[in-house]
Amino acid sequence: MKDYSKTADIYTNSGIPNRAFYEVARLIGGYAWEKPGRIWYQSLLKLDSKATFKKFARVTYDTAGDLYGVGKPEQDAVKKGWEIVGIDVKGNQ
């Protein structure tokens, strides 16, 4: 997020959630289309077109808890993945 630009095009800033997804997939392990892909897909269905990165991070965190259990490794991986790109899923950053 330190390199986020409000004036950049969508492709420049799209790397932020893409990197978070990569980190989540790496932390969970296995095939990315299984657990991480399911978390991301279900989260995208819950967002509107005005969602922020922070909102998306929180929704993915909550979705991981809904799908795999609150406090389980999948939810922890989502939290850590977003932290790596500079976003606190609790909304404190």
Q: Could you list the pLDDT tens digit for every one of the 93 residues in the chain? A: 555 555 555 555 567 888 899 999 999 999 999 999 999 999 999 998 888 889 999 999 999 999 999 999 999 999 999 999 999 998 654
| CATH class of the 10-84 domain in this structure | mainly alpha
- Separation in Å, CA 92 to CA 9, 10, 86: 26, 24, 11
Q: For residues 8 and 1, is the Cβ–Cβ distance under 8 A?
A: no
Record the pTM: 0.84
Q: For residues 58 and 21, is the Cβ–Cβ distance under 8 A?
A: no
